[in-house]
Amino acid sequence: MNNGIVLNHHSLPFANKEDADEGLMAFFTVLKVCRTAGLKVLLVDEDQDKSLMGLELTNGYFVRSWLASARKVAELADWCRFLKSLETKQPLFEIVDIESVSDVLEVGLPGEESGKSVLLAAFYFETFLASFTALASWANSHFNVWVFELDATPDQRDETLLNLSDSASLDVHADELKQRRNALLSSAKDIWFKREDFFPHLTLLSNQIGTSLQCWSARQDVLFKARDALNVMESFSGRWLSGEYVDYHHEYLRGLGLAAEVSGESESVNNDPKKKNERMFWLDDGRKVYCENHVKLTDGYRLHFYADALNKRIYVVYLGPHLTL
């Protein structure tokens, strides 16, 4: 299962409400990054609450308790909306069926005689643990564990699990998270049909991009270059909308990791009505705009887009061979 992370409830509780409030922000940050990577939270223990709201952060203080207070604080409005979006996007939690392997497979921490189901799930599905920072022992980016496998020889060995708990661990696992995202976007049709989940701050025009991606016949490396560009554009557009950027510049995409060249058109194109018209596209709100900005992909392909300053949104309008010069 490559689209899930395992909620580690053993990393709770916090010592007090103040620590819980701070730790919940770190946990929300982890969840936010995981969702951009296409990963959803999996709840493995049946005795745990099936809603994030029901998680007890410290004695008598739940996530829903935090929400009740946070709604009164303007600075926390974005996080309140994020929490509500998690609750309404189903499934946030899933019961992971590991009973079929628990009789022959066990995973535990060094020095402990019995294993833990969350460790078993993370190992079995080859994915991340998602931990809170309440207990220092669960705040590491990696965990050494022992694995007991009844049908294996030898029956016990040491392994390492990946853990996400704060910004530092997100930095450590940044490349792995990127690889997980890309694995879920490994074909042109994946990019198109999963666009609302992976590119919520972009608009990919149906007639142009939708047709190109659903009928893709060009080289795979061209597609992956386009995918990488879309990933960077999505990152920029989300930050643009949140106010981190006040306008669009090519340099911002480069600063966020765009490896391909990005530019506008030459004066010879801008001054030629026929060539310029070829780069005019209808947006979904009825506007016809000049889309000179483009990313130069391999094999002569181009990805044209329009940075809409009014809505702080990027419209991706064309993916295909170089337009007329």
Kindly state whether residues 209 and 142 are assigned to the same domain.
no
Tokens of 155: 């029956």
153 and 19 within one domain: yes
* Pairing verdict, β 142-149 and 156-164: antiparallel
Q: Measured between alpha carbons, how far is 181 from 285 in angstroms, rounded to an integer?
A: 30
Range of the domain at 211: 185-321
For residue 167, is it within any domain? Answer: yes
Interatomic CA distance for residues 276 and 311, integer angstroms? 24
Q: What is the pLDDT of residue 76?
A: 95
Residues 26 and 130 in one domain: yes
| pLDDT tens track, the chain, 325 positions | 568 899 999 999 999 999 999 999 999 999 999 989 988 877 776 667 777 899 999 999 999 999 999 999 999 999 999 998 887 665 555 666 677 777 889 999 999 999 998 999 899 989 999 999 999 999 999 999 999 998 888 999 999 999 999 999 999 999 999 999 999 999 999 999 999 999 999 999 999 999 999 999 999 999 999 999 999 999 999 999 989 999 999 999 999 999 999 999 999 999 999 999 999 999 989 999 999 999 999 999 999 999 999 999 999 999 999 998 7
Tokens encoding 126? 């080859």
pLDDT at position 267:
92
Query: How many domains is the chain partitioned into structurally?
Result: 2
**Are 14 and 64 in the same domain?**
yes
**Per-residue pLDDT, 96:** 63
Query: Which of these, 313, 72, 305, 294, lies nearest to 209 by C-alpha position?
Result: 305
pLDDT at position 256 is: 96
Residues 170 and 221 in one domain: no
Residues 233, 164, single domain; the answer is no
Q: Is the domain of 214 the same as that of 69? A: no
Domain end call among 136, 156, 175 = 175
Task: Please indicate, yes or no, whether residues 208 and 85 belong to a single structural domain of this protein.
Answer: no
**pLDDT tens profile 30-71:** 999 998 998 887 777 666 777 789 999 999 999 999 999 999
User: Are residues 70 and 81 in contact, defined by beta-carbon separation less than 8 angstroms?
Assistant: no
pLDDT at res. 90: 52
